[in-house]
Every structure is written in structure tokens, then in C-alpha cells.
Chain A
Amino acid sequence: MAELKQVSFPPDVLARIAPDISLHRHLSVGLRPNLRNFTEFKPVDIASNNEITDSNANVFGSSVIKSGSTTVINTITLGVVEVNRSANAATHSNNDFTTVYPVVEIARGRSGAPTDEEMILSQTLHESILHSRLIPKTALSIKNYGSAVYDAATGKYTIYYPDLNPDEFELINFNHSKSYSFVLLSHIKIFSKQVSTSSLFDLCHMSTIQALSRLALPRVYISDTSSGTKVSIRSRSSNTRGLVGVSKSNINLDSNKDLYYPLSLNGATVDGDAMVDSEGPFDASGVSSNFGIISIPEEEDRKTVLLADLEGEAEESSILSRLSIIATKDNVIKKISLVNGDSDSEITLDLLKQAIEISKIRAQQM
């Protein structure tokens, strides 16, 4: 029988065929495959301009952030939902807060239904924002919505608001019988995904917070045709399943930017027209950080190490114990998720403490 010859591979080939071995070899010399230190985070750039919001009338908050080549474009559009007035009386804690409805889309060269990764990211983001108690329901309820009145003489519509034009408004036979609330619909597009799913969550969270902190809510008015009689017509060509005019409403957003008001996030103070962010938008919400825990052989013993901000195929596939922490600079922890996926490298209390400390420091530096 012929002896099997030893085969050696160049590092980049080894990284493809045996990511776990490649990872261990890197870690044993004190470096990660992406050449960062163990607890070093990948730098994140947050675009300072607000161009998407300024140039699209239907976008009310947006952010663009970049980490390496990975780019996240987050836009918040608004929906309106009718709310039951008596529901406000409930005093249950989580009921007082609401969240965003994100749809995460990762450009990956395929079309079709969302992947598991996209669905998990959307759902986790949705829940994290809800449970971090960031957006009070009252901040999204629509107060004093106006009415558009058609002036036959000039052929123009004029919008009157009860608080801004009390005199004119009294003349309009219009009662606020319904109450409405905004719904925050967020679309997150990710280009050039390079980092792991956990890091992607951090980026999505950061971009959502950034977009929320810039969110300006418009005034809402009802156009007067809503009081007219509606007739249901069966329509064959319509995709509204035959009922035309029933589900349609006449709720409008006033695109007059002078009337926009900022969303008051819980914990952040609002001053005049802009949120006071002298200390940054992440004060109240915290910054999301993620860690992987892996043990590496060291002489006779094994050493368990903490890696921050996982990136790349090797780390994504071979590190199964994960930690995800949202911490604020004021030592408040908004979220901890912990997966002990690898029996060789269990998350000990010390590692957990270390990870929390690092998250806090990161939140302070943001």
C-alpha cells in the first residue's frame, strides 16, 4: 500500500477547506483570521448627512452606516393605524411601549422569499427595540389631526389643525371621533455582507437607533371626502378583492416640514425642534455588541477566549458559543442573549463579566 503523502495548503486554501483548523492556528498565535485582536471591534462609520430623508417625501427617518465594505441603508416610512381609545388605560408595563416593524434584506444575488437569516434579524430587532422600552406608545399617537377643507372659490385645499387654527377649526363640522397612531415601518437593505449574523444584528440595531433619533413625525390630516358616502363596487380588475372604497381612507401626511416634530424616545430629552444629542443618540438605547467564546489548546491545558464582533466564515461556522449584549453607557443592560453551543468552551461567569464590561466601554465610546 502506498503511503499517504502529507499535503500542505496555503493559508487561504486552508481557510476555505478547514475553517476550524485555520481559526485555531490563527488564535494560537494571538490573532484572528481577520487580523483583529481578540476583543477588538470592527470600526463603524455612520453617515452624518440626512439625504435620503430630505429627498424622499415618504421617508421620515433614515441612516446609512458602513462597517468595512458592509453597508446598511435603513429607511423609516410611516403607516397609520386606528387605535382603541380605552386601550390607553391599561397600565401593564410593556404595553406602554411599541417598536418598529423592520424588513431586513441582504443583497446576496438571489431573489425570492426572505432567508432565515433575514427573518431572524427582523424578528430579533423588532423584539429588542420593544423590550428595551425605547419608544413610548404615547410618542406615536396622533394628536390634533387636522382636516383639509376644499374652497370652491379658489379651488384649493386648506388644512386646519385644532391646535394651530382653533378659530377656523371651530367652524368646521369635524369631530375627532377616532384616534390614530403611527406605525414605524423600517426597511433595512444590507450590501456586501462580510460580517457574521450577530455582527449584522449589531449594525441593524445601530442603524435603527440612528434612524429613530433622526425621525421627524409629520402632522396628519383627514381630507374632507372621508365624510362622503362610500359605495362598495365589485371590480374585476382590482386586486383589492372586489371591495373598492372600503379599506381606503383619506388619511394624509402633511409634508410641510415646518410642522414636523421629533419623536420623543424614552429617556432622551426633547428640546425645541431637535433631539438633544449632545451626548449621542445611543445614550438611552445602548449599543449592541456581540462576542464569541472559543477554547484554544495551549500547551497542556485549554484556554477559553472571548472574541468580539465575529466576522468571516471561519468564525461564523466554528464558534458556537455566542453572547449578544446591548448595554448603555450608564451601566444599564438592555439585552443579553447567551447561547452555550459548544461544550468545550462554556460561557463562565468571568467571561460574561468581561463581555459586559467591554460592552459598557464600547457604549461609552460611541
Chain B
Amino acid sequence: MSDRRRLLGSVNTIIPNVDGTAQPAKIESKTEPRIDGLRPFFLKTGIIENANGSSYLEVGNNIIEVSVYGPRPIRGSFIDRASFSVECKFLPFISQPNEHLYNNTSISASSAANTTNQTNVNVNGRTGLTSIEHKISSYIETSLLPSIVLEKYPKSTIDVFVTIISTDSSLGGSYSDTKMLSLVNWVLNASSVALVDSGIEVKDVVTSGVAHLQNDVLVLDPTEIQEKDEGSVSCVASFMNLRNDEIVGIWIEGDQTNLENSQVDHLLDGCNDMSKKVRANINSYFTTS
């Protein structure tokens, strides 16, 4: 069925595989200098003028843009508190993290020459969210929800729109759980900043951290992790640091068969540690800019 609202080309158009036999020249990934064990990140607010609040964040190859629209009036019956929604979308050409696992699509960027998982669906015409986008959106939504003073905004909606412009996975190759959670982590931090920029009342600025644990070695803000090994666990957790480090969101991926309490504690401590460092950076951004 052709889409009458978008120009997607003729219905016979085939979207070819981009092969993985000849790897594109990879940009040398330099070991970035780390400050406090984290990668440096670039943050800017207020760049989107038709939104109430916005933020732009770059870390590694990830580029994330967040716009907050709201409080906006709703039509229809009265509600005594604002409704809150988050929509996280990747630009259509980006290969999404672990999409061969969740999205039921081809492993397009990393496929070998013999893959036949090709579709003739033009991604430019994609409507709605993919499973990964849904997962990320709902994580951000549940994590931010406890911090917003919804009672202040009756009969309104607050909508957060996240656009992922670039990811660490862009160079092809399968996307690991760790990298996905790392992306989620930075999306959450960027969303919190955008929420503050919009001037919507919050109880605390939610920040999060991401940690990876293997053989009792804990790495914060992991980038180069060999995942296939046993006992490799990644975790992203979000906190309200000024409200007694209340956990507002937690997402664990990896080998969880023998996960023990002590390991979870270790991971959470790591995430908490990182969230405080991120929080300190955000605080200084807002006080000095």
C-alpha cells in the first residue's frame, strides 16, 4: 500500500543491503580523556526556539536533542494534574541499538553478503515507534515522572520529544547492550536538563549513571566492553540525588542468571556515583551559563 502523504518513491523501490564485506573505513576511536572516570560531554540548552525547553547533548558519537513542549492546554474534560509523555525517536537512517533483537528487522549495517533479510520498506515513511524507541521512551517517562510537580498544571500536557541524531553504533557492527544502556543514560540526563530549561516545576533534577560489571570489575560510563563473556552485566539507574538518592528508574541487561544481591548493590553504587558526577556538571552548567 503506498503512502499518499509522503513521497517515498515508486512501490517497486527496493531498499538494498549495505554490505559488511568491505567494511567502511572506520574512524579511529581515540581513547578519550576521562574526567572523574566519565567521558566529557557537551551540553547546551535553549537551542530550539519553538519549544518551551530544549537541550542538546553530545557524548562520544552520540548526539541527542530533547525538546519539551508544555505545559500545553488540552481540549476536553478537566483533569486535575498534567499528563506527561515522552517520545524518543531515532532519525530514520540510524541503525538502532540491538535492532535485530528487538525490532524484527534485518541486521542491515552489519550483514554479510548472503543476507536476504532485505525489505522494500522505505524507512523515511515509518510511522509510530519501533520497539526500542518504545522501550527507551517508557524508561525516560517512568524515571522523570516522579520528579515533576504535576499538580501544578491541571488541564495540561507536558510532552518531551527526544531525537537521536547520531549514535555510537553508526559505524556499523552489532550494537551491544552496554552501548544501548549508555545511550539511554545520556538521553535521560539530556531530558532532565531540557525539563529544567522549560521552567516546569520539578522536585529534583533526575540524573542517571550507567555501569558495567564483570568479574567484580566495575566500569562507569562503559564504551569498549566485550559482552559475550559470562557474568557480564550492564545497568543504568536514575536517581533524585537531593531526595535521599531515591531510585526512580533501573534497567539491567546482560547475563543475569547468577546475579547476586551484592553485585546489584555494586552496580547501583556505581550508577549512583556517576549520577552525582553528572549532576555536579549539570549544576555548574546552570549556575555559570
* Of A80, A82, A126, A189, the contact of B91 (CB 8 Å cutoff): A189
The answer to the question of A176 belonging to the interface, with a C-beta cut-off of 8 Å to chain B, is no
Residue with the greatest number of chain B CB neighbours at <10 A, chosen from A77, A123, A185: A185
Please give, as numbers and ranges, the residues of chain A lying within 8 Å of B159 by CB-CB distance: 109
Tell me if B176 counts as interface (CB < 8 A to partner A): no
A159 to B61, CA, bound (A): 31
B19: CB under 8 A from chain A? yes
Q: A55-B166, A55-B170, A194-B49 are in contact. Are A103 and B8 (CB under 8 A)?
A: yes
Check A174 for interface membership: any CB of B closer than 8 A. no
Cα A81 to Cα B9 in complex, Å, equals 9
Which of chain A's residues have a CB closer than 8 A to the CB of B67? Answer: 107, 109
> How many A residues touch the partner, as a band?
35 or more
B215 to chain A, nearest CB (A): 32
Contact of A55 among B13, B15, B127, B171 (CB under 8 A): B171
Question: CA separation between A51 and B6, bound complex, in Å?
Answer: 26
* Segment from B106-114, B229-237, B251-259, B267-275 that makes contact with A: B106-114
Q: Does B73 contact A (CB under 8 A)?
A: no
Residues from chain B with a CB closer than 8 A to the CB of A78 are: 16
Chain B, Cβ-Cβ closest to A68: B49
B12 proximity list for chain A (CB < 8 A): 81-82
Residue in contact with A192 in the complex, picked from B47, B112, B113, B119, CB distance below 8 Å = B47
Q: Kindly specify which of A2-10, A163-171, A248-256, A302-310 makes contact with the partner chain.
A: A248-256
Q: Does A57 contact B (CB under 8 A)?
A: yes
In the complex, are the beta carbons of B91 and A187 less than 8 A apart?
yes
Given contacts A79-B15, A187-B92, A189-B163, is CB(A254)–CB(B7) below 8 Å? Answer: no
Q: Does B77 contact A (CB under 8 A)?
A: no
User: When the two chains form their complex, are residues B6 and A122 in contact, meaning their CB atoms are under 8 A apart?
Assistant: yes
B217 at the binding interface (Cβ < 8 Å): no
Q: A59-B93, A192-B50, A255-B18 are in contact. Are A185 and B124 (CB under 8 A)?
A: yes
Stretch touching chain A among B21-29, B184-192, B277-285 = B21-29
Once the chains bind, are A252 and B10 in contact (CB under 8 Å)? no
Min Cβ gap B233→A in Å is 29
Q: In this complex, which of B10, B69, B93 has the most chain A Cβ atoms within 10 angstroms of its Cβ?
A: B93
Q: Are A253 and B48 in contact (CB under 8 A)?
A: no
Contacts of A102 in B (CB 8 A): 7
Residues of chain A lying within 8 A (CB to CB) of residue B118: 248-251
Distance in angstroms from B164 CB to nearest chain A CB is 11
The answer for the CA separation of A87 and B179 in the assembled complex, in Å, is 48
What number of A-B contacts does a CB cutoff of 8 Å give? 175
User: Which single residue of chain A is at the shortest CB-CB distance from B69?
Assistant: A109
Residues of B near A57 (CB, < 8 A) are 18, 24, 109, 171-172
Provided the pairs A187-B124, A192-B48 are in contact, do residues A81 and B14 lie with their beta carbons within 8 angstroms? yes
A101 vs B159: C-alpha distance in the bound complex, in angstroms? 30
Q: Tell me which of A54, A79, A249 contacts B122 (CB under 8 A).
A: A79
Instruction: Tell me, yes or no, whether B116 is within 8 Å of chain A by CB.
Output: yes
A185 and B116 form a contact (CB under 8 A): no
- Is A234 an interface position by the 8 A CB rule? no
Question: In residues 73-97 of chain A, which contact B (Cβ within 8 Å)?
Answer: 73, 75, 77-82
Q: Are B91 and A75 in contact (CB under 8 A)?
A: yes
Closest to A230 in B: B116
Name B14's contact: one of A114, A249, A256 (CB within 8 Å): A249
**Cα–Cα, bound, A102→B93 (Å):** 13
State the Cβ distance, B176 to closest chain A Cβ, in Å. Answer: 17
Taking the complex as formed, is B20 at the interface, i.e. its CB lies under 8 A from any CB of chain A? yes
Q: Which residues of B contact A296 (CB under 8 A)?
A: none
A236 within 8 A of B: no
In the assembled complex, A257 has its CB within 8 A of some CB on chain B: yes
In the complex, which of the residues B5, B51, B61 contacts A119, with contact meaning CB atoms closer than 8 Å?
A: B5
Binary interface encoding of chain A residues 240-268 relative to chain B, with 1 for a CB under 8 A from any of its CBs, else 0: 10000101111111111100000000000
Q: Is B9 a contact of A157 with CB atoms below 8 Å?
A: no
Identify which of residues 95-139 in chain B touch chain A, using a CB-to-CB cut-off of 8 Å.
Answer: 95, 108-109, 112-114, 116-120, 122-125, 127
Contacts of A220 in B (CB 8 A): 16
Q: How far is the CA of A78 from the CA of B123 in the complex (A)?
A: 11
Q: Smallest CB–CB gap between B83 and chain A, Å?
A: 14
Contact A108 B50 (CB under 8 A): yes
Question: Across the two chains, which residue of chain B brings its CB closest to A106?
Answer: B50
Instruction: Please name the residue on chain A nearest to B68 by beta carbon.
Output: A109
Q: A193 near B: Cβ within 8 Å?
A: yes
Cβ–Cβ < 8 Å partners of B172 in chain A: 57
By Cβ-Cβ distance, the 5 closest A-B pairs, closest first, are: A109-B69, A256-B22, A157-B113, A79-B13, A103-B124
11 more A-B residue pairs beyond the given contacts A55-B27, A252-B113, A253-B16, with a C-beta to C-beta distance below 8 A: A51-B166, A57-B109, A81-B13, A113-B5, A122-B6, A148-B113, A156-B21, A185-B122, A251-B118, A252-B18, A257-B25
What are 27 contact pairs spanning A and B, CB under 8 A? A52-B93, A56-B93, A57-B18, A57-B172, A59-B93, A73-B91, A79-B122, A81-B10, A101-B7, A107-B67, A109-B161, A122-B6, A150-B114, A183-B13, A185-B8, A185-B13, A189-B91, A192-B51, A194-B50, A245-B116, A248-B118, A249-B118, A250-B116, A253-B16, A255-B19, A255-B20, A257-B24
Which residues of A are interface residues toward B (Cβ below 8 A)? 51-52, 54-59, 69, 73, 75, 77-82, 101-103, 107-109, 111, 113-114, 119, 122-123, 126, 148, 150, 156-157, 159, 183, 185-187, 189, 191-194, 218, 220-221, 223, 225, 240, 245, 247-257
